[in-house]
Structure formats: structure tokens, C-alpha cells
């Protein structure tokens, strides 16, 4: 199997009944893996997962995980991964279909081959200036944050999401731009995550947004 995944050190567990190996994602599907060693953790994870997702308990490299399937895009899987981490405290990992090898829009895992959203955050990083590239968005939804003319909010937002943040125009006012997605559930998950962290986040129609500038690029401190 050649699906892209990053997981922690496996822990072999004794189980009362055999658990099947996890199935890889379909060619156009993204998955979330969450390590759930107990029935209680599995129940909690299922209760917070999307209602239209398929959840199964399976085994990957000796570890028992809950496999959450049915995501049509990596941003959607990443957004839900962030939400599940926040709602349950259980780390999640994005599983990509091979040969897709793109960086997720919302990622908490640094490294040369990012493939997971672990929610652990990052330290020892700073922001470098971005570039001015006006771009009218098209279909789907955009997640924006009202920063109330406080530039430090962009830094805080970038640190929470560990990704580049933009400035966008919406209804003739400036906002911080987080992401664009065709799936409402993904946008809602990110809005909830950011609202829980104290940001004034909202979901809007992407066609009403113009992305003006990419602000920070996350780079390591020297």
C-alpha cells in the first residue's frame, strides 16, 4: 500500500476480538485516523464526527484507530481534524489517497512531508512578509476573521493554524482570510474552531470575497 500517512509510534494492544486492518482511502477520498484505544474514546470520537461520515474501528501498524472516511478534499479533512482535536482532545491524522502529495490548508505538523493535522502546534517560528496578489474567489465558501484593525490578530491566527494568512476584501471591508472550500461542513468546522479560540470568524460566500494579499509565511527562526 502506498498511501501517505504519518502516525506516532504504534502501541500493540490486547483486544477481546480481532480487529481488521484499516482499508486505504479511495482514489478521490481523504480519511482521518484517530487513535482510540478504548470503547469510550471510540464513542466520543463518533459522537463528534460528521453525521455523513463513515466511521469504523480498525488497526494500523498494530495501533487501534477510528477511521473516519468520506471527505472529498484535504481542506475538508483538515478542518474536521482540527475540530475533532478541539472537541475531543484526541489527535487526528489525515490519510491521503496516493499519489496525491499536496500540503493541507490547515496543518499542525511541521516537516518536509506534511500529511497530518495533530493539533500539537508549533514553536520557534516567525512570520515573514508575503506578497500582493489580488484574486477574486469563485464558488464555495470562504472563512474570514474580523481583526478590528489589530494587526497582531494575524500573527495569533497564523500561530493557531500554522499556515499563511491573507487579507481579503468583503463588503468593502478588510478581513483576514483563512481558507476557501467547496464544502460547507469544512468551513463550519474551521469557524467553530476559531470561534472557540476567541477569534471573530465567519463563513461567507466565496464569490463575494477578493483575496488582496498573502501576509505571513511561516519560516523557522534562525
Instruction: Please return the burial class of 135, using the count of CB atoms within 10 Å of its CB with bins 0-12, 13-18 and 19+.
Output: middle
221-to-60, 126, 218 alpha-carbon distances in Å: 35, 6, 9
What is the pTM for the complete model shown?
0.53
Question: Beta-carbon neighbour count of residue 100 at 10 Å?
Answer: 14
H/E segment holding residue 216: strand 209-220
Per-residue pLDDT of the chain (222 residues; tens, 9 = 90+): 445 554 443 444 444 568 899 999 988 888 999 999 999 999 999 988 888 789 999 998 888 999 999 888 777 788 888 888 878 888 888 888 875 434 344 334 333 333 333 333 322 223 333 445 578 888 889 999 999 888 889 888 887 776 778 889 998 899 999 888 887 888 888 898 889 889 999 999 999 999 888 775 444 444
d(CA 58, CA 21): 5
Amino acid at each position: 500500500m502506498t498511501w501517505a500517512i504519518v502516525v506516532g509510534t504504534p502501541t500493540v494492544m490486547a483486544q477481546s476480538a480481532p480487529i481488521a486492518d484499516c482499508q486505504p482511502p479511495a482514489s478521490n477520498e481523504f480519511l482521518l485516523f484517530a487513535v482510540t484505544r478504548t470503547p469510550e474514546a471510540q464513542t466520543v470520537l463518533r459522537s463528534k464526527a460528521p453525521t455523513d461520515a463513515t466511521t469504523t474501528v480498525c488497526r494500523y501498524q498494530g495501533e487501534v484507530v477510528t477511521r473516519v472516511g468520506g471527505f472529498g478534499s484535504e481542506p475538508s479533512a483538515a478542518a474536521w481534524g482540527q475540530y475533532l482535536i478541539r472537541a475531543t482532545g484526541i489527535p487526528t491524522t489525515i490519510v491521503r489517497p496516493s499519489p496525491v502529495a499536496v500540503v493541507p490548508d490547515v496543518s499542525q505538523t511541521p516537516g518536509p512531508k506534511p500529511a497530518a493535522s495533530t493539533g500539537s502546534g508549533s514553536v520557534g517560528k516567525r512570520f515573514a512578509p508575503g506578497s500582493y496578489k489580488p484574486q477574486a474567489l469563485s464558488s464555495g465558501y470562504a472563512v474570514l476573521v474580523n481583526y478590528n484593525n489589530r494587526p497582531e490578530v494575524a500573527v495569533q491566527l497564523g500561530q493557531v493554524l500554522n499556515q499563511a494568512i491573507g487579507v481579503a476584501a468583503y463588503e468593502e471591508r478588510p478581513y483576514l482570510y483563512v481558507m476557501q472550500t467547496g464544502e460547507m461542513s469544512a468551513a463550519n468546522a474551521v469557524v467553530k474552531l476559531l470561534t472557540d479560540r476567541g477569534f471573530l470568524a465567519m463563513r461567507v460566500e466565496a464569490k463575494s470575497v477578493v483575496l488582496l494579499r498573502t501576509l505571513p509565511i511561516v519560516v523557522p527562526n534562525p
